[in-house]
């Protein structure tokens, strides 16, 4: 067979590619017609007549493309990249007459092996493309990869029709974020969905979420991850890496989250879910894990980044070992230009191809460390995210700490674009709610937007307020357990946080005592009422609205069972609690003054003011457990809005007084957590009694 072929007919340029394919002679490698590819287009891209494959490696001496038939472990073709197909550190090749339905691909990369320098090239390894858009090799949940199989990639041809659908573009102050795990949300049979544990199953619950009133879903990791990492059995219970914080591929949705696990090449099931959310006015955020990968440390697997450029993708010690600021074995070298580029390409991809509205960055402080692990003043990666044009309307939310001890709540490099999970809100409000002394002043500050932490003028919506999230107790468990109960995780109850600031209301765990259960329900109502009446962006954990429990486990990362799955039977059992959550969400949405500064107050009142049992108080003392906060503002064509939030974390009832209103207005009580059912009722004068451990909310009419 001649090594040269006649020129192929001209092709229309792909919209994904920067230039058209020119008329040039073709090479032939092992029976395949090839030519140099598009060097600026990373990954594998379908083009008219073939597929463009582009990868890069700084330290490699050679790269081979491996082609596999579906579900076969040995390649049917090996195509070495010719030396003249390499420009700089980029290898690019178009392979013609490939049917993307019929093959999978991987790479082999050769280069020096000098572990002390972080160079561990191994030509025997099959490597997953770092830019793989669809991954095969472990498609069905909980099934180990067959012997001899490897992660491989599929070529994606994006043809999803978004129509004329736009982004919801919900202002930050109007958000109500609902954090959920895609599998756990509907996996239990009590969910009643046709496709439990999948994107399709979640889509079946969107009417429920719309009824609840949330307008933003924060999905725990949905990138391709390995739930079999550290798979084990404890007391006969199978434990997985259930949460998904161990990324295998940053560009591919998790195949096992689809109703049809055989194929998820185009990601259409996830796209349909996102489209359905937007049609209901619900934004979709992804919890992304750019701080580490599933390859772990020296003892971990070797399937992608280690084989392309281990000393570039990971932070390494001078001896070539892995820094572990993530607590998961390795740390991505985020501010190296190559990793920086990959992360930015990834975020742009999810925004343009999947129309994602925002990202929550796990252990985001790592994204601001330099190549030696030291915190940077102006990290280039974080700055690039803040100013990138494609990401211009995207919400950026940082978990502003890491496992290496860096804690940046209030000081995360922001450029007025970043919001933060406010861990101070969680800790201070939990302590106040359970009645700890000396917490009233902190509670007042948290309720009013944490102005001691965030500059109200520059970062008015930086605080994501939360009391519960995936990491820790559910809201029910926060008032049912004094101590964590993680024995089922297999670490002798040593894992998980010890500083939960929880209170069991007198009995550890579940009880039939009606008084204890009534108190617990009231404590949950207290917590949610204050969350909905706090300045900032509220977020709560899926299932809190109907009393879901993890049975005291505050680190359920490995529990792929009813411990982590939502028990939807509790929705009917705790219907009144669900109605309370609905009521408070509607109340927040109906009162803009709770969400933002409305131009200097109203009726002579300041925008925000603090009150004790007697009106007008500058600050609170160490023994105070009553906190009154009044929000006042005026909206054009609507008039004044005045809301007073009264919270009593003391164990006895108190008599208190509201500020005096203008003659034309009167107070109306709209919330009383002492009661199961809520309805507005007029207040006679300004004096009122607030029950022990309860919250009341008033508005001026």
**Tokens at residue 471, please?**
């990491």
Q: Are 661 and 633 in contact (CB under 8 A)?
A: no
Paired tokens of 565: 């799955």
To which residue do tokens 């009534």 refer?
518
Ranges of residues in the chain with a pLDDT under 50 are 1-20, 22
For residue 46, the model assigns a pLDDT of 95
d(CA 475, CA 594): 22
Q: How far apart are CA 349 and CA 359, in angstroms?
A: 13
pLDDT at 23: 57
pLDDT (0 to 100) of residue 473: 98
Give pLDDT, residue 264.
Answer: 57
Residue 636: predicted pLDDT: 78
Structure tokens at 216: 């933003």
Nearest CA to 698 among 593, 603, 620, 624?
593
Residues 6 or more apart whose CB falls under 8 angstroms from that of 524 comprise 475, 476, 478, 479, 544, 547, 577
Strand partners, 420: 398, 463
One DSSP character per residue, 503-572 reads --TTSSS----HHHHHHHHHHHHHHHHHHHTSSSEEEEETTGGGT---TT-S--TT--STTTS--THHHH
Helix/strand/coil for 277:
helix
pLDDT in tens, 97-116: 999 989 999 999 999 999 99
Domains and CATH numbers, the chain: 4-111 (2.60.40.10), 183-421 (3.20.20.80), 595-700 (2.60.40.1180)
Question: What are the pLDDT digits (tens) for 431-458?
Answer: 999 999 999 999 999 999 999 999 877 7
Q: What is the structure's pLDDT at 351?
A: 98
Picking from 653, 680, 649, the residue whose alpha carbon sits closest to that of residue 523 is 649
How distant, in Å, are the alpha carbons of 76, 109, 326, 337 from that of 292?
33, 22, 6, 16
Q: Which residues are catalytic?
A: 362, 399
Q: How far apart are CA 571 and CA 545, in angstroms?
A: 8
> What value does the CA radius of gyration of the chain take, rounded to a whole number of Å?
28
Q: What kind and span of H or E run contains 668?
A: strand 667-672
């Amino acid at each position: 067979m001649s090594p040269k072929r006649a020129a192929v007919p001209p092709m229309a340029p792909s919209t994904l590619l920067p230039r058209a394919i020119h008329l040039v002679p073709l090479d032939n490698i092992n029976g395949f017609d090839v030519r140099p590819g598009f060097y600026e287009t990373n990954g594998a891209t379908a083009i008219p007549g073939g597929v463009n494959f582009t990868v890069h490696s700084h330290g490699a001496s050679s790269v081979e493309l491996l082609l596999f038939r579906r579900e076969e472990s040995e390649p049917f073709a090996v195509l070495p990249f010719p030396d003249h197909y390499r420009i700089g550190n980029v290898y690019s090749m178009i392979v013609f007459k490939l049917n993307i339905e019929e093959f999978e691909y991987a790479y082999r990369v050769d280069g020096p092996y000098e572990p002390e320098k972080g160079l561990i090239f191994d030509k025997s390894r099959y490597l997953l493309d770092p830019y793989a858009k669809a991954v095969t090799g472990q498609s069905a949940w909980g099934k180990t990869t067959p012997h001899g199989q490897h992660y491989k990639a599929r070529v994606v041809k994006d043809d999803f029709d978004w129509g004329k659908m736009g982004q919801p573009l919900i202002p930050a102050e109007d958000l109500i974020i609902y954090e959920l795990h895609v599998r756990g949300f509907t996996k239990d049979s009590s969910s009643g969905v046709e496709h439990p544990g999948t994107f399709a199953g979640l889509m079946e619950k969107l009417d429920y979420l719309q009824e609840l009133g949330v307008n933003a879903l924060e999905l725990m990791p949905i990138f391709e991850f390995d739930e079999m990492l550290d798979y084990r059995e404890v007391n006969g219970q199978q434990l997985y890496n259930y949460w998904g914080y161990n990324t295998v591929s940053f560009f591919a949705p998790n195949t096992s989250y689809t109703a049809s696990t055989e194929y998820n090449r185009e990601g259409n099931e996830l796209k349909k879910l996102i489209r359905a959310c937007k049609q209901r006015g619900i934004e979709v955020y992804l919890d992304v894990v750019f701080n580490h990968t599933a390859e772990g440390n020296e003892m971990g697997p070797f399937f992608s980044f280690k084989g392309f450029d281990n000393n570039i993708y990971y932070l390494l010690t001078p001896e070539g070992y892995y820094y572990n600021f993530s607590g998961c074995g390795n740390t991505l070298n985020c501010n190296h230009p190559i990793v920086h580029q990959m992360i930015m390409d990834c975020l742009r991809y999810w925004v343009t191809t999947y129309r994602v509205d925002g990202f929550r960055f796990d252990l985001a402080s790592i994204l601001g460390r330099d190549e030696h692990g030291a915190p940077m003043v102006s990290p280039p990666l974080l700055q690039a995210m803040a100013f990138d044009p494609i990401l211009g309307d995207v919400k950026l939310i940082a978990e502003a700490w890491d496992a290496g001890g860096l804690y940046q709540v209030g000081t995360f490099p922001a450029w007025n674009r970043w919001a933060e999970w406010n861990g101070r809100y969680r800790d201070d409000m939990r302590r106040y709610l359970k009645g700890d002394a000396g917490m009233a002043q902190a509670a007042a500050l948290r309720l009013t937007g944490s102005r001691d932490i965030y500059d109200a003028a520059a970062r008015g919506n930086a605080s994501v307020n939360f009391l519960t999230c995936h990491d820790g107790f559910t809201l029910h468990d926060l008032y049912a357990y004094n101590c964590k109960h993680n024995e089922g995780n297999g670490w002798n109850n040593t894992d998980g946080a010890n500083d939960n600031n929880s209170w069991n209301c007198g009995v550890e765990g579940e009880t039939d005592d009606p008084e204890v259960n009534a108190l617990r329900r009231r404590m949950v109502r207290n917590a949610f009422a204050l969350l909905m009446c706090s300045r900032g962006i509220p977020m709560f954990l899926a299932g809190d609205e109907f009393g879901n429990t993890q049975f005291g486990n505050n680190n359920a990362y490995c529990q792929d069972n009813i411990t982590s799955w939502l028990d939807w039977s509790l929705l009917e059992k705790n219907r009144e609690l669900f109605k309370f959550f609905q009521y408070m969400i509607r109340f927040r949405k109906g009162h803009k003054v709770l969400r933002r500064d409305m131009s200097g107050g109203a009726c002579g009142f300041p925008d925000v003011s603090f009150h004790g049992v007697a009106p007008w108080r500058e600050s609170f003392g160490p023994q105070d457990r009553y906190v009154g906060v009044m929000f006042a503002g005026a909206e054009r064509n609507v008039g004044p809005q005045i809301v007073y939030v009264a919270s009593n974390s003391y164990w006895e009832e108190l008599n208190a007084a509201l500020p005096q209103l203008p003659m034309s207005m009167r107070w109306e009580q709209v919330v009383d957590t002492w009661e199961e059912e809520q309805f507005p009722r007029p207040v006679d004068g300004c004096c009122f009694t607030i029950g022990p451990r309860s919250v009341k909310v008033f508005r001026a009419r």
